[in-house]
Amino acid sequence: MTSEKNEHGVVMVGGGLAAQRCAQTLRKQGYEGPIRIVCAESVAPYDRPPLSKKYLSEGEEGPDVALKPDDWYVENNIELLLGKSAAGLDPVAHLVRLEDGTELSYDRLLIATGSQARHLPALAGFSNVHSLRTAGDSRRLAAELGQGGHLVLVGSGFIGQEVAATARAFGDQVTIVEAMSSPLEHILGAEVGNRLGRMHLERGTDLLTDAMVETASGNGRVEELCLADGRRIDCDTVVVGIGVRPSTDWLDGSGLEADGILTDAGARTGLPDVYAAGDVTRSLDPRTGKHTRSEHWDSAVRQGRAAALSMLGQPAPEPALPSFWSDQYGERIQYVGHAELSDRVEFEDHDDGLNFTARFLRGERLVAALAVGQPRTIAKAGRTIEEHHKSEAEEKGSPK
Ligand code: FAD
């Protein structure tokens, strides 16, 4: 993509991690044309992982979550259109329509609108029911922690687990209500899920599994949750962490997929000059040949960079293995690989057995690993998994 007079340049819709990394890569690679980032939030791109961890416990006194200082956007000639939502896309005319009626023409478009928290209709309208996606959500929730109340987390995904750990550090009573038999069972299986569950129980968090919230009662604030099996739980604050859905409503009628935009390894969508990166995508994993949603930091960074390189006509690097981390009770949990390909799991216990390494195997081949409190293990496991993928691809006679 060369820089020409009167060019429309690159428009990015969504101003989170993926967009920021795409803009940074474009400038680093020498692109000099216009870059505009449109974002529904009224602050410059910031980092979300601290929102359930340090930022939740320390607030604005705590970590600076801005991905870059405001000056960086000025110095790099990147225009931020903040507090503005995109409402439609005309891919033929190369136009993005904003909610206020403004139309933005683009030469290349990056869709990076991320994802939004799923809600439980039974809990709608209560003022003490929270979800956690933005810095504002984190500050509102923080105001309810550390008061000696009872916090109930609906869902034991990473956000639910991290908020539980943060609230326990304040000394709050914490209960996790989980519909499955153990945390993250659908991704990591029951054996790993049970060990993660044990970690919470040992730290004083109550964990109710095979439990579904059915109704809630209270006057403006939820005071009691009623489970499908008839159990009742008193509560002061509720956090719903039952997953996210891609923010694609504004793309209705554009031809792009509502349940996660399909992209190739270079972040290209099915529409000309339209790229997508981050939580909003279902991106092609060349190792499995499948399009998968990955709602993790590493993917947003990689896909944001890949989109920039593709826009410039440069080859995008081979996508890294899926990976994520989570911080809970002072320990780092790290994961790499494809647990869904495994047929068994082997465990290695460390210290008191709460810290462990899980090796997901298919036959004798390592396909994924998860480690609690063992930072070096995962990098090594990642290299082994990659080597296996390469030798398997060579055996099949494909270049990779
Ligand atoms: P986002 O960062 O969500 O940015 C999307 C932006 O687009 C938002 O600002 C949104 O308001 C805006 N937007 C949406 N619709 C529109 C529209 N129509 N018009 C304009 N703008 C719009 N990952 C890990 O690997 N490890 C962790 O420990 C971890 N912790 C996390 C903790 C929390 C609380 C959260 C919320 C996420 C965490 N993640 C973690 C996930 C990681 O932060 C996300 O994968 C990453 O932020 C995705 O980046 P993104 O750019 O795709 O989307």
Instruction: Going residue by residue through the chain, which has 400 residues, state the pLDDT in tens, using 9 for 90 and above.
Output: 655 556 999 999 999 999 999 999 999 999 999 999 999 999 999 999 999 999 999 977 888 999 999 999 999 999 999 999 999 999 999 999 999 999 999 999 999 999 999 999 999 999 999 999 999 999 999 999 999 999 999 999 999 999 999 999 999 999 999 999 999 999 999 999 999 999 999 999 999 999 999 999 999 999 999 999 999 999 999 999 999 999 999 999 999 999 999 999 999 999 999 999 999 999 999 888 999 998 999 999 999 999 999 999 999 888 889 999 999 999 999 999 999 999 999 999 987 767 999 999 999 999 999 999 888 899 999 999 988 877 777 777 654 4
pLDDT at 388: 83
pLDDT of residue 399: 46
Cβ of 275 closer than 6 Å to ligand 1, yes or no, is no
The per-residue pLDDT for 34 is 98
Beta carbon of 345 within 6 Å of any ligand 1 atom: no
Is there an atom of ligand 1 within 6 Å of 247 CB?
A: yes
Nearest ligand 1 atom to the CA of 45 is 9
Spatial neighbors of 383 by CB under 8 A, at least 6 apart, are: none
Instruction: Choose which residue among 113, 115, 254, 261 to substitute to test ligand 1 binding: the one with the highest number of ligand atoms within 8 A of its C-beta.
Output: 113
- Residue 354 is predicted with a pLDDT of 79
Residue of 36, 39, 115, 118 to test ligand 1 pocket, by largest number of atoms within 8 Å of CB: 39
Where, residue-wise, is CATH 3.30.390.30 in the chain? Answer: 330-395
Ligand 1 atom 38 nearest Cα: 49
In this prediction, residue 400 carries a pLDDT of 44
**Ligand 1 atom, smallest distance to 250 CA:** 18
| Per-residue model confidence (pLDDT) at position 353 | 67
Q: Which fold does the domain 119-240 belong to in CATH?
A: FAD/NAD(P)-binding domain (3.50.50)
Cβ-Cβ contacts under 8 Å for 110 (sequence gap 6 or more): 10, 11, 12, 13, 14, 18, 19, 22, 267, 275, 276, 277, 304, 307, 311
- CATH 3.50.50.60 residue ranges of the chain are 3-116+244-311, 119-240
CATH classification of 330-395 is 2.60.40.10, yes or no? no
How is domain 3-116+244-311 classified at the CATH fold level? FAD/NAD(P)-binding domain (3.50.50)
**Using a 6 Å cutoff on CB, does residue 296 contact ligand 1?**
yes
Residue of 279, 294, 299 best suited for mutating to test ligand 1, as the one with most atoms within 8 Å of CB: 279
- pTM, two decimals, is 0.95
